[in-house]
Structure 1
Amino acid sequence: MKRSDLVSYLSEFLLADTFKDYAPNGLQIEGRENIDKIVTGVSACQPLIDQAVVAGADALLVHHGFFWKNEPAPLVGMKGRRIKALFQHDINLLGYHLPLDAHPLVGNNAMLAQKLAINDAEPITGVAQGLVWRGELSQSITAADFATRIATVLGRAPLHIGDNAQQIKTLAWCTGGAQDYIDIAVAAGVDAFITGEVSERTFHAAMEQGISFYAAGHHATESYGIQALGQHLADKFGLEHQFIDIPNPV
């Protein structure tokens, strides 16, 4: 597959140009023109790049790429080493941030709902670029039992703020670092809000507003969208796809 065709397809499929984001979405580092094997991963860290080299990747497709807003521009140190490795091995780097969070089929929010058995999952309209979703469980369970479900599915125990005995039926969620969207969840009238990270202020916001809050891990909540996107490309275009997980407890 030609690199330009892959980039064009992903831009259209993910509606990449419709998001106001913190980093460029699309091709970030240009490598070889022909792409037969894609390696996917959550973040373009050095261990992932090194393993993509060993795997013989033509393209590395990630959720967290490079060139974030307000980061230093010089290609030195850690940043320089990462980019140098990609250029040396002629590997394309493609990054999709908010477009991958929001996608209705392969996005992080959609996939998290699938993994946690949340039904009727859909974005809350009119807020946060469609990044906050809502849905419900097939039956109510206690907040403690839902924490156990998260731990079992994601392989990481979440931080739960709230009453363990509270009955959970309706939920809102936004993967990654979206703790400050808790007020959107409260306004939606749900029982619980799930995201990846937590701040000191989150404790008070949850307790004072009577909503269960789960910090389930930034990496853990965003591991599934990029895998689904890679498999989608493999199925559609006959590409070889390999997901490489670089464990991250955050």
Structure 2
Amino acid sequence: MNNLQLEQLLNQTLSPQLVKDYCPNGLQVEGCTEIKKVVTGVTASKALIDAAVEANADALLVHHGYFWKGEAEPIIGMKGARIRSLIQNNMNLYAYHLPLDIHPQLGNNAQLANLLGIKVEGGLEGHAQSVAMHGSFESELTGPELQNRIETVLKRKPLHIAADDEGKKIKTIGWCTGGGQDYLELAAKFGLDAFISGEISERTTYIARELGIHYFAAGHHATERYGVKALGGWLAKEHGLDVEFIDIDNPV
């Protein structure tokens, strides 16, 4: 497949033009014209680039790419080394941030819901581009039971901040993969029993306790492995590309 055709295909699927984001979505670094092998991963770190080079990939498709709003523009230091490696190996870099969080089938939020057995009911922000979702479990869970389920699925023990009433059961839930802890107050106003995100801030503990809502910090990386993996699987199944997901361990 031609590299620009691949970008067009991904754009048609993820509709980045509909989302106001903090970085450019799509082809960020152009490499070879013909793409046969694609490596997918969460973040375009040097370790992932090296693994993609070792796999003889023509393209690297990630959730966290480069050129974030507010970052220094010069291509020097760490960023320079990463981009130099891509260019020297004639490798294309595609990155999709918020569009990959919110896609209703392939997105990080949708994939996490599938893995945890959550019935998706809508967006917390009340529109199709909401990056925080709400839904429900088939049956009630205790806080420790949900903590165990998350650990089993993500292979990482989440931090559980219990509601002020520690025995409060969990039926309704909100979630936002990655750095979504600041949607916790909205989830509490929505009357939800619990909220899951990737990251936690110092203030999150007090918000959860004082507003009576369970909170689970499950890891930014751990909650965002599954969107890009699903996207790669779709490319392989529907478009015949050779796609390999490579997970670079990250405890955060």
TM-score, length-normalised on structure 1?
A: 0.97
Q: Is the 8 A contact 2:120 2:133 kept in 1?
A: no
Does residue 14 (structure 1) correspond to residue 45 (structure 2)? The answer is no
Alignment-derived partner of residue 134 in structure 1:
134
Which sections of structure 2, spanning at least 5 residues, go unmatched?
A: none
> Over residues 130-149 of structure 1, what are the superposed CA-to-partner deviations in whole Å (9 max), with x where a residue is unaligned?
11111111100101110011
**Does the C-alpha gap of structure 1 residues 75 and 231 become closer, same or farther in structure 2, counting only changes over 3 Å?**
same
- Amino acid in structure 2 at the alignment position of 1:3: N
1:1-250 matches, cutoff 5 A? 1-126=1-126, 129-163=129-163, 164-250=166-252
TM-score, length-normalised on structure 2?
A: 0.96
Q: Is the 8 A contact 1:14 1:103 kept in 2?
A: yes
Residue 121 of structure 1 deviates from its aligned partner by: 4.5
- Amino acid in structure 2 at the alignment position of 1:180: D
Q: Is the 8 A contact 1:36 1:240 kept in 2?
A: yes
| Secondary structure class of the residue paired with 1:202 | helix
Number of positions where the alignment pairs a residue of Structure 1 with one of Structure 2: 250
Residue 184 of structure 1 deviates from its aligned partner by: 1.6
Q: Return the alpha-carbon distance in structure 2 between the equivalents of residues 87 and 198 of structure 1.
A: 36
Q: Is the 8 A contact 1:171 1:192 kept in 2?
A: yes
Q: Is the 8 A contact 1:110 1:121 kept in 2?
A: no
Residue 183 of structure 1 deviates from its aligned partner by: 1.5
**Does the C-alpha gap of structure 1 residues 156 and 171 become closer, same or farther in structure 2, counting only changes over 3 Å?**
same
CA RMSD of aligned residues (A): 1.2
Q: Is the 8 A contact 1:147 1:158 kept in 2?
A: yes
- Amino acid in structure 2 at the alignment position of 1:80: G
Residue 166 of structure 1 deviates from its aligned partner by: 2.0
Q: Return the alpha-carbon distance in structure 1 between the equivalents of residues 57 and 199 of structure 2.
A: 31
Q: Is the 8 A contact 2:124 2:187 kept in 1?
A: no
Q: Is the 8 A contact 2:113 2:120 kept in 1?
A: no
- Amino acid in structure 2 at the alignment position of 1:43: T
> Over residues 91-125 of structure 1, what are the superposed CA-to-partner deviations in whole Å (9 max), with x where a residue is unaligned?
00000000000000100000000011112343235
- Amino acid in structure 2 at the alignment position of 1:106: L
**What is the percent sequence identity of the aligned residues?**
53
Residue 126 of structure 1 deviates from its aligned partner by: 2.6
Which sections of structure 1, spanning at least 5 residues, go unmatched?
A: none
**Does the C-alpha gap of structure 1 residues 196 and 128 become closer, same or farther in structure 2, counting only changes over 3 Å?**
farther
Q: Return the alpha-carbon distance in structure 1 between the equivalents of residues 121 and 226 of structure 2.
A: 16
> Over residues 181-237 of structure 1, what are the superposed CA-to-partner deviations in whole Å (9 max), with x where a residue is unaligned?
111211221100000000011111111100001100000000000000001011111
**Does the C-alpha gap of structure 1 residues 184 and 128 become closer, same or farther in structure 2, counting only changes over 3 Å?**
farther
Q: Return the alpha-carbon distance in structure 2 between the equivalents of residues 126 and 184 of structure 1.
A: 11
